[in-house]
Amino acid sequence: MKKFLLHPVTITTIVITLILLLPYVVPTKATPHWSDDELREEALNSNMLPTPKTYKELLKVVDNPKNRLSRDKIALGKKLFFDTRLSRDKSLNCASCHILNEGGDDNRPTAIGFAGRANPHHLNSPTVLNAALAKYEFWDGRAKDVEEQAGGPVQAPFEMNMTPKEVEERLNKDSALKAEFKKVFKKDKIVFGDVQKAIGAYERTLLTRGSYDEFLDGNNSAISASAKRGMTLFISKGCKGCHTGMSVGGQTIQKFPLRYYLSDYVGLLLNPKLSIKDNPYPFKNLGNYYGKEEMQLFRVPILRNITKTAPYFHNGSVKDIKEAVRIMSKYQLGDEFNKEQIKDVVEFLKTLEGKIVEY
């Protein structure tokens, strides 16, 4: 009797197909039904913590041992945050790309800086609100805190287009400003590093509180039943694994996307000149940006006020928050949410909207 043997290529194809089909055939875990108290406990145990209410509590959370907060330093940093002298043509300031009453970003798919220059990688501006709670700054996480981050846009040629020396020369001409710096930093001259520290100090106070925080504080009626279902999905399905901490994000660098599907390869089969590297995302690869070390590693976005910071993802290719949730559930969790689940999760995300606390 003649033996039937499969060709190695056929075997490989079958194995790859089965792997790609796994997300569709493996049963998903049922969503739990938690009481309000149980939901709150799950959230708090997952390090989803409420924002401080008082200045004293704020210091415990965001004070930097290398840049101790003081009211004078914060006030100085606020002045610099809105100071257009930090840009070459004096038309831009930090608030130009980080509009505080618009979610802390500029609501553009790509940041626009000096002389109308767009970010060369089509990157948009991450929110400055609650950024001090993050362990990484910028899309590739290259800055460790808001003080280090504050120096980047000032020097970038496609943003504010200044050098540290030029900033120092310009600001030292202002005798009143020099006096304020001397009071805070005990130096006769303004130096760029202290400009960063002052702005960073102010940004450390830009934390927001909303109905989400009220619920975590014990007010069961602060959020709707739909938002509670969304919060349950967020925790039980694994979103909180990356979007964690008081900031609900910004704590880790993660691969995106984690998963690919058979449908993702259809276009590649029709165009053999392309590879998955050419367009690795489930949306158009505007800017050809591949994250940290070009390994598709990105700082996990902060989700507080996320409903106010469209468009989404690093290159602003997705305008609709519902579509962003669908993409994340499919490509990061491997469990694509249905329309009702997406609606509930968006309702939960709305509870993360908040106002800046006046510390």
Q: From residue 249, give the alpha-carbon distance in Å to each of 117, 136, 165, 322.
A: 29, 10, 35, 18
122 token code pair: 């089509």
**How many CA atoms are closer than 13 Å to the CA of 121, on its beta-carbon side?**
15
Angle, alpha carbons 37-39-44 (nearest 5°) = 95
Phi, psi (degrees; rounded to nearest 5) at 344: -65, -40
Close Cβ partners of 178 (under 8 Å, ≥ 6 residues apart): 171, 172, 188, 189, 190
Q: Report how far residue 127's alpha carbon sits from residue 97's, in angstroms, rounded to the nearest whole number.
A: 9
Query: Strand, helix or coil at 117?
Result: coil
Of 127, 46, 112, nearest in space to 307 by CA: 127
Q: In which element (H, E) is residue 194 found?
A: helix 192-203
Q: Are 137 and 149 in contact (CB under 8 A)?
A: yes
Q: Is-catalytic flag, 159?
A: yes
| Residue where the block lists tokens 């700082």 | 299
Cβ–Cβ under 8 Å, residues 28 and 335: yes
- 92: buried, middle or exposed (CB in 10 Å: 19+, 13-18, 0-12)? buried
CB 118 within 8 A of CB 112: yes
Distance CA 240, CA 242 (A): 5
Q: What is the C-alpha to C-alpha distance for residues 300 and 251, in angstroms, rounded to an integer?
A: 7
Look at the block and give the residue holding tokens 């280090």. 148
Active-site option among 159, 168, 180, 203: 159
- Active-site amino acid positions: 159
